[in-house]
Structure 1
Amino acid sequence: MRYRTAWQALGQNPLKVLRSSWPWRSLAYLLSGVAFGSVTTAVLVLALAAGIVSLVLLVGAAVLLGVALSGVAVTRFERWRLRLVDLDPVPDPHRCPDRSGPLAWLRTRLREPATWRELGFTAVSATALWWMDLLVLGFALVVPVLVMTSPLDDPGAWPLAVVGLLLLAAAPYTITAWAGARAAVTRLMLTPRDSELGRELTDVRASRARLVDAFDAERRRIERDLHDGAQQRLVSLNMLLGQARLDTPSDSRLAAQLADAQDQVTLVVEELRELSRGVHPKALTDQGLAAAVGNLAARSALPVAVDIRLSHRMAVPVETTAYFVVAEALANATKHSEATRVEVHARLHHDVLTLSVSDDGTGGASPQTGTGLVGLADRVAAAEGRLRLSSPPGGPTLLHVELPCR
């Protein structure tokens, strides 16, 4: 079994600790803590003194600002050093500045709670932690050596050599135990708080929702361009071809060519209409979810029973997400499930739209099979909804979606 921390290795199997690398890693962790802590303390004390003395000049304010931001650099090294005794990395709580440049970085760091928490950790480390590292190393290594060598001056004190030897044998446990405790305290102080993670998650969700909204807006624009532009021109061309046929003898070769061209234009118009429905159905914008899903059912190769009862129209992102859930589910049922019937059910409960699509096919649907379910789940998640899939081998398949309508 591979242990993730020195504390875990010592607590689970202390007999094997001596044969592992954890005591040596712990020793390196404490030695580097003493070295880095002493240097950091000396530099910060000198910088703080110089900043206070030169505060009358403008230079002192810059020095004190550097001291305030020193925790960012110190804790970055601490997070890297922590990997000696804790294999799980501590996430960096800082976010990237909105703009480039040192001033944007400075404003961002000064406004973050993590910056001041890291300054507090630096103060605790400088005043207590590295001193305790030094104390533990002295007790675990220096004291046993002094006790063992005391009989050299007083031969009658030979029992102290045994005591020193026993203390030295216990040194790996002492060092590993304190290194594990020290690492736990460091992780506790440096791990981002829930409020900070919550803000990051909120930003990510908002960004993802904006991307989905922008994508849907672009789909609607493309649908309008197809409907009002290319489609209308093709309809006009079809009418011109029809007028040309009226002016042409019906038994001529040109009349047959015009008829063939008119049939081809009619086919292109139908395909373009189908394409525009796939991009963003006009019925969804004009009439709502029930009408748009009804059109999907009418064009489906499978019999589809639609039971959608909604008391009012919902927000555009909710209707769009629900529509494409149904469209993807019907496409999967037609292509993969060997189903003979599909049922679509939707209700609006207070501020939540519940939507389910079921079929009597062979089942076995899974996001890993590449049937578009991953993209569908991402779209539902972007709308802060939940998607659940039940599709055991042999069927039936049930896709259940809940979308908030706040």
Structure 2
Amino acid sequence: MARGSVVVRLSKGAVPWRSVVYLLGGGILGAGILVLGLVLTTVGVLLSLVLIGIPLLGALAFAGVPVAALERRRVLLLDPDPAPTPHRTPTTPGIPAWFRLRLKEQATWRELAYTVLFALVLWPLDLLVLACTTAFPGLLLAAPAHLALTGGPGQGGVRPAKLWLVESYPAAWGTALLGLVLLIALAYPLGAYATARAAFTRLLLAPREAEAADALAEVTRSRARLVDAFEAERRRIERDLHDGAQQRLVALTMTLGLARLDAPPGSPLAEQLATAHDEAGRVLTELRELIRGIHPQVLADYGLAAAIEDAADRSAVPVETVTKTDDGTPLPRLPEAVESAAYFAVREALTNIGKHSGATRARITATHTGGVHGVLRIDVRDDGRGGVDPARGTGLTGLADRLAVLDGTLTVVGPPGGPTILSVEIPCQAAERPAAEA
């Protein structure tokens, strides 16, 4: 009973019949692609003599894109797991952007290679395997019908599959039974080949590394969006504090100053107003420092070079600054995210020098190389005791994560005894906006 149920499952199950449909469809599709490809190539070569066929031949380079999309759908016949496309979505709309992106992707050329392989090798192999596993048993199964069509016994008999002579219906039905057994037995290798064929298609047209690359790219883009949103929020907070709380504190300080002038000298009221006036002044100073730390106005107005100079002036350790390009010209304006990340890296380095290094002087060198397409490099060097360990705090780790979003790197060299050198490299191009003159 158990053996009979297995036979029924194999003969009526979905996998053998799906395998037949998959391979037969591959044969029909491959033959059509071969004929169409030969026709278009011939027409393109002939018309290229008058330059009309050159665009057609160029368009054939993208022939693998629709073929691969159809093949990924056909894989679903045997594998329910969707085969995702390895192509990225263009960031800008329009056909030119689509073509430019596809030209740069390795998946486009991999799909073209698969299309050529499919048109020349795979579909004949599919039909050959299908013929060996179904056509031969099918001819044996058709022996009784073949014998009846020739007039029945006594008419010379038939030779199913050109193998042996069958002259009677018992022999014909025995041949048909043999064909049925062969058909069931060959369902295993047929399904194995079809499964391997689908796996080969998935490997070339929807590789797992492409899914991982897409996921990684999306994570990188999401991190960049988060950094942009974070920077926008910092600017909003800085603007609100500058235009709101700071202005109110200035007004309060002025009001307290006027009140001190009206109070009788030496009275308790005058002393209380003086105390409140001084306290309001300290709060205003701290608020200005806070605003400068959130998003310094000098960075937004005058660029990275002026912001580095400002940070050096307020450092607890004397700092020498050099800001220039590789040809000696002033440092250009850079993208806002790059300037902000570089500035806060310098701020963190100067803070660490003032608190932990014991240094007596420091030097900041900021250079931009390569013109429009180049790299910003910042080196902060001090003569302190060294022995920097990034694992002791989260400041350097946070800076490294922030720079990684911009494809930048953070390197710290600080052997015991010094010197300590913090290096930042960010690939970026100069912004079109000129640097403002202080």
| Residues 348 and 354, structure 1, Cα contact 8 Å, conserved in 2 | no
Deviation at 1:123, TM superposition (A): 0.8
| Residues 22 and 194, structure 2, Cα contact 8 Å, conserved in 1 | yes
Deviation at 1:382, TM superposition (A): 4.2
Please give the residue correspondences for 1:23-42 in structure 2 after superposition, counting only pairs within 5 Å: 23-42=16-35
What are the Cα deviations for residues 61-112 of structure 1, in whole angstroms up to 9, with x where unaligned?
A: 2322232211011001111221222233334222333543222322332333
The equivalent of 1:164 in structure 2 is 179
Distance 1:91 1:313 in 2: 52
1:185 pairs, out of 187, 197, 200, with 200
Distance 1:379 1:20 in 2: 55
Distance 1:194 1:226 in 2: 47
Q: TM-score, normalised by structure 1?
A: 0.58
1:354 pairs, out of 391, 394, 407, with 391
| Residues 71 and 121, structure 1, Cα contact 8 Å, conserved in 2 | yes
Residue identity matched to 2:58: L
Matched, 1:141 2:131: no
Deviation at 1:120, TM superposition (A): 0.9
The equivalent of 2:223 in structure 1 is 208
Deviation at 1:231, TM superposition (A): 2.2
Task: Note closer, same or farther for the CA distance 1:221–1:355 as it changes in structure 2 (3 Å cut).
Answer: farther
Deviation at 1:178, TM superposition (A): 1.2
Residue identity matched to 2:22: Y
Deviation at 1:199, TM superposition (A): 9.7
Task: Note closer, same or farther for the CA distance 1:177–1:315 as it changes in structure 2 (3 Å cut).
Answer: farther
Deviation at 1:211, TM superposition (A): 5.7
Task: Note closer, same or farther for the CA distance 1:259–1:129 as it changes in structure 2 (3 Å cut).
Answer: same
> Number of aligned pairs?
322
Please give the residue correspondences for 1:120-269 in structure 2 after superposition, counting only pairs within 5 Å: 120-150=113-143, 152=147, 153=158, 154=166, 155=168, 156=171, 159-191=174-206, 201=216, 205=220, 208-209=223-224, 212=227, 215-216=230-231, 219=234, 222-223=237-238, 226=241, 230-231=245-246, 234-235=249-250, 237-248=252-263
| Residues 137 and 175, structure 1, Cα contact 8 Å, conserved in 2 | yes
Matched, 1:109 2:126: no
Matched, 1:119 2:99: no
Matched, 1:70 2:63: yes
Task: Note closer, same or farther for the CA distance 1:122–1:291 as it changes in structure 2 (3 Å cut).
Answer: closer
Residue identity matched to 1:180: T
Task: Note closer, same or farther for the CA distance 1:348–1:223 as it changes in structure 2 (3 Å cut).
Answer: farther
Residue identity matched to 2:95: P
Task: Note closer, same or farther for the CA distance 1:159–1:199 as it changes in structure 2 (3 Å cut).
Answer: closer
Worse overlay, 193-202 or 102-111: 193-202
What are the Cα deviations for residues 38-71 of structure 1, in whole angstroms up to 9, with x where unaligned?
A: 3222222221222222222333223222322110
The equivalent of 1:51 in structure 2 is 44
RMSD (Å) for aligned C-alpha atoms: 5.5
| Residues 314 and 405, structure 1, Cα contact 8 Å, conserved in 2 | no
| Residues 86 and 210, structure 2, Cα contact 8 Å, conserved in 1 | no
Distance 2:349 2:62 in 1: 58
Deviation at 1:173, TM superposition (A): 1.8
Q: 1:89 aligns to what SS in structure 2?
A: coil
Task: Note closer, same or farther for the CA distance 1:126–1:310 as it changes in structure 2 (3 Å cut).
Answer: farther
Task: Note closer, same or farther for the CA distance 1:309–1:259 as it changes in structure 2 (3 Å cut).
Answer: closer
Distance 1:170 1:404 in 2: 69
1:100 pairs, out of 76, 93, 100, with 93
Worse overlay, 106-115 or 210-219: 210-219
